[in-house]
Structure 1
C-alpha cells in the first residue's frame, strides 16, 4: 500500500525493526523519488516483516521491505 512499488521481499539487511523507527527506500529509477515513513507496527517475529508504516502524506499500510530499504532506529 504505502510503499508497495518500492519495498519488495525480504528483511532489511538483517536489521530488526521496532515501532517508531524510520523506514527509508531508495528510488528504483531516475524519475522516482526516495520514499520514507515511520514504522507504526511490526507484525513479524523478532522485528522482521511484515511491518505497518505511515508515509509522510499520512497513508498507512503493510510493508515488506526489500534490499533498497533501510531501517533507521530511533
Structure 2
C-alpha cells in the first residue's frame, strides 16, 4: 500500500513535468508563428543596406585580425633564433 502511494506520487510529478514541457513547447511554437505572420520579404534597398553593413563588419574584423596577427608573427620571428 505504501509503495502504491509513492509510485502514484512519482507518476504525478512525472506527468506534471511532461505537461510543463508540452506547455513550454506550445508557447514557443505560438511565438514562432507570430513572428512568421508579421515577417515579410525585404525590399531591394533594405537587402542592399544589410549586405553593405554585414560586408563592412566582416572587412573590419578581418583588418583588426590582420593588425594583430602581423606584429605577433614578427615578434615570434625575432624571439625564435
Normalised by the length of structure 2, the TM-score is 0.14
Larger radius of gyration: 2
Normalised by the length of structure 1, the TM-score is 0.14
Query: Does 1 or 2 have the higher relative contact order (CA < 8 Å, sep 6+)?
Result: 1
Structure in which a larger fraction of residues adopt strand: 1
Structure in which a larger fraction of residues adopt helix: 2
